[in-house]
Amino acid sequence: MGQHTGGCLCGDIRYEFSGEPLMAGICHCKNCQRQAGSAFSTLYGVPKAAFQLTGEPKLYEDSDTESGNTVERHFCGNCGSPIYSAIPSQPDVLFLKTGTLDSTDGFAPGFHVWCDSKQGWVDLPEGVPQIARGS
């Protein structure tokens, strides 16, 4: 069981969690692209009970999604770093933006989701499940 730490760019928000993530994946939906300012969002599924946060993230309720589900996007109000997302269908899990981890050495995506909206220049590796849409 590992201890994981991370935080935003300016340091106003810090977090830690113990144990291993429930999942590791990459989301290619347009909203994650916009939120990340990049081609996709890298995610760990983390049990809320194992997650401790210091600082006060801001919340954006993203209801204009292809799935029709509202995504709660938590981010630093000072530097804008995305910290995690949450969805109502999985109330005990948060989806940590792995770029905010102090060490990303252990990150290995187990799947790619919303590949229908993947940017054309992104090549996906063979052997990792590619899901056309999300749920």
Q: Record the pTM.
A: 0.87
Count CB-CB contacts under 10 A for residue 108.
7
Looking at 14-18, 47-51, 109-113, which range is the least confident one? 109-113
Maximum Cα interatomic distance, the chain, rounded to a whole number of Å: 40
Average pLDDT over residues 33-42: 91
Residue 135 has a pLDDT of 56
Instruction: Identify whether the C-beta of residue 60 lies closer than 8 Å to the C-beta of residue 73.
Output: yes
Task: pLDDT band for 59, please (50, 70, 90 cuts).
Answer: very high
Report the C-alpha gap between 59 and 127 in whole angstroms: 35
Topology (CATH) of 3-117 = glutathione-dependent formaldehyde- activating enzyme (gfa) (3.90.1590)
Average pLDDT over residues 97-101: 96
Instruction: Identify whether the C-beta of residue 97 lies closer than 8 Å to the C-beta of residue 8.
Output: no
Report the C-alpha gap between 67 and 74 in whole angstroms: 19
Nearest to 55 by CA among 74, 33, 35, 31: 74
